[in-house]
């Protein structure tokens, strides 16, 4: 094989592996909603330790089965945070003309006092 054929073959193999990885992720529900991802994680937590134990026994290794970390619990509402941010920005924009007038008046008073 010449160099360009080898590079083409390498590219096809890498593309095939990447495509297979995307397909497996989609098939397992990892690219879906959060609920589907949580279900896939729960399924992996149930499946991986026995599979690792089986392979270590097959290979004659004594390795403790890997345990996946627990799914973190967040008490965070994205919609509430978004709404609070929108309210804060709109409140600031609604008082901006009044504040601009106040600051302009104070600035003119300051300049007049400097000129005296």
What digits encode the pLDDT tens for the residues 25-77?
A: 778 777 777 777 777 777 777 777 777 677 777 776 655 545 556 766 777 77
Closest by alpha carbon to 34, among 3, 92, 74?
A: 74
Q: Tell me the domain boundaries of the chain.
A: 1-48, 78-115
Question: 95-108 pLDDT, tens per residue?
Answer: 888 888 999 999 99
pTM, full prediction:
0.33
d(CA 102, CA 22): 58
Residue 29 C-beta-side C-alpha neighbours within 13 Å:
12
d(CA 75, CA 60): 44
């Amino acid at each position: 094989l010449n160099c360009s054929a080898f590079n083409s073959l390498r590219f096809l193999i890498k593309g095939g592996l990447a495509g297979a990885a995307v397909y497996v992720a989609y098939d397992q529900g990892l690219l879906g909603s959060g609920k589907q991802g949580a279900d896939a994680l729960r399924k992996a937590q149930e499946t991986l330790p026995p599979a690792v134990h089986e392979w270590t026994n097959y290979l004659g290794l004594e390795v403790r089965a890997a345990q996946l970390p627990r799914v973190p619990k967040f008490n965070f509402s994205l919609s509430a945070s978004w709404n609070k941010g929108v309210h804060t920005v709109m409140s600031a924009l609604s008082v901006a003309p009044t504040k601009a007038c106040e600051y302009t008046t104070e600035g003119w008073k300051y300049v007049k006092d400097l000129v005296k």
